[in-house]
Amino acid sequence: MAALAEGESEFFGILESDDTRYMRDALEKIGKAAGADLFLGNSGTAMRSLTAVLCLGTGKYILRGEPRMHERPIKDLVDALRTLGANIEYLENDGYPPLKIKANGLTGGEVRIKGNISSQFLSALLIAAPYCKEPLEIIVDGELISKPYVYMTIRLMEKFGIKVENNDYKSFKAEKGVYKAQSLEIEGDASSASYFWAGAAITRGNVIVKGIEKDSLQGDVKFLEVLEKMGSELTGITIDATLFPDAAMTICPVACYAKGKTRITGIASWKVKETDRISAMANELRKVGAEVVTGDDFIELTPPEVIKPAAIETYNDHRMAMCFSLLSLNSPNKKGAEITILNPSCVNKTFPEYFKEFKRLTGSPH
């Protein structure tokens, strides 16, 4: 939004990570030339939002990323943009990056988008909406997942001076206009905070997480409600995680210390994240002794009697590394195990300092 805005914006407290660096580098390149070949790593946020925004001006752009990024779907967004006049070509496989964009503006009017794959598709259209040639109405087909992220997008657009009419997340109308530069403090990331909240719940210790409020707009603060529901003794629960799929992963290690089964639903989007997280999580939980049943939209785990030592594959997924580190912790009713995280540097995607902070929290020498 700042890159599209009139004037100079200033942000404080920005996370230094692979995802933010890819986005910043891309914006710098775009600002210097009417065309660019952009490498976006495995940043879904950068890939999806730039796909929409780059259609607005003029110029030729190529958007590519890591091999996994080329397996993550973008067809629904591209289809929607094509109905608005976008010229987008698939360079390898239909429906997936890499993409070639010949930018020539977007018409506006009415467009439809599926809501059940990724909320980033909708956020991308919303961010681009004020710069369409006509006001844009977006109709959501089916149930929208990850609504808090869309709400955050709308609230931020309002801060930048653009109003969006939200019809119960079934349709959205965005006015034409121009974003106005802002000076903003960036809130800490609730998904990252979930590991420390989980660590405190497992050990029955205390942790203070700064830089984020309990009434934050971020859906992942709902992880705190999950911990409240599990209680201080940690009892297995059934929970619908549609509103907070990222932090929902952190429920799995906590559930390994709980009494009874835990079932997490509303996680179909896990399959198209940094890895197929349903399959990856099931594979690695079985290594530590948990019994796991999975489906297209759920994972159910029975905790192990004893957490077994294991070498954990991360599938180059930052959240796998952070989740499984928690199984090294001791709880009052169950000891942790020696957990070896393979490819720990994958946390650089969103939290380069994770293991340093984890060590500080636990006093562990490893």
Indicate the SS3 state at residue 179: coil
Do 10-185 and 190-362 come out as alike in CATH topology?
Answer: yes
Q: What is the CATH number of domain 190-362?
A: 3.65.10.10
Answer yes or no: is pLDDT of 46 > 70.
yes
Residue 168 has phi, psi (to 5 degrees) of 55, 35
pLDDT digit string (tens) for 143-183?
Answer: 898 999 999 999 999 999 999 999 999 999 999 999 999 99
pLDDT digit string (tens) for 227-267?
Answer: 999 999 999 999 999 999 999 999 999 999 999 999 999 99
User: Sorting pLDDT into bands at 50, 70 and 90, what band is 365?
Assistant: low
What's the 3-state SS for 41-76? CCCHHHHHHHHHHCCCCEEEEEEECCCCHHHCCCHH
Residues classed as catalytic: 246
* pLDDT (0 to 100) of residue 363: 73
Dist CA 39 CA 354 (whole Å): 25
Compute CA distances 228 → 312, 335, 349, whole Å: 28, 22, 29
As to burial, measured by CB atoms within 10 angstroms (0-12 exposed, 13-18 middle, 19+ buried), residue 177 is middle
pLDDT digit string (tens) for 188-217?
Answer: 999 999 999 999 999 999 999 999 988 899
pLDDT digit string (tens) for 299-357?
Answer: 999 999 999 999 999 999 999 999 999 999 999 989 999 999 999 999 999 999 999 99
pTM (2 d.p.):
0.89
Instruction: For residue 128, give every residue at least 6 positions away whose Cβ sits within 8 Å of its Cβ, in sequence order, or none.
Output: 52, 53, 55, 56, 106
List the domain boundaries for the chain: 10-185, 190-362
Q: What is the CATH number of domain 10-185?
A: 3.65.10.10
Strands (E), the chain: 10-12, 35-39, 58-64, 87-90, 99-104, 109-114, 136-141, 164-167, 171-174, 183-185, 238-240, 262-265, 291-294, 298-302, 310-312, 339-341
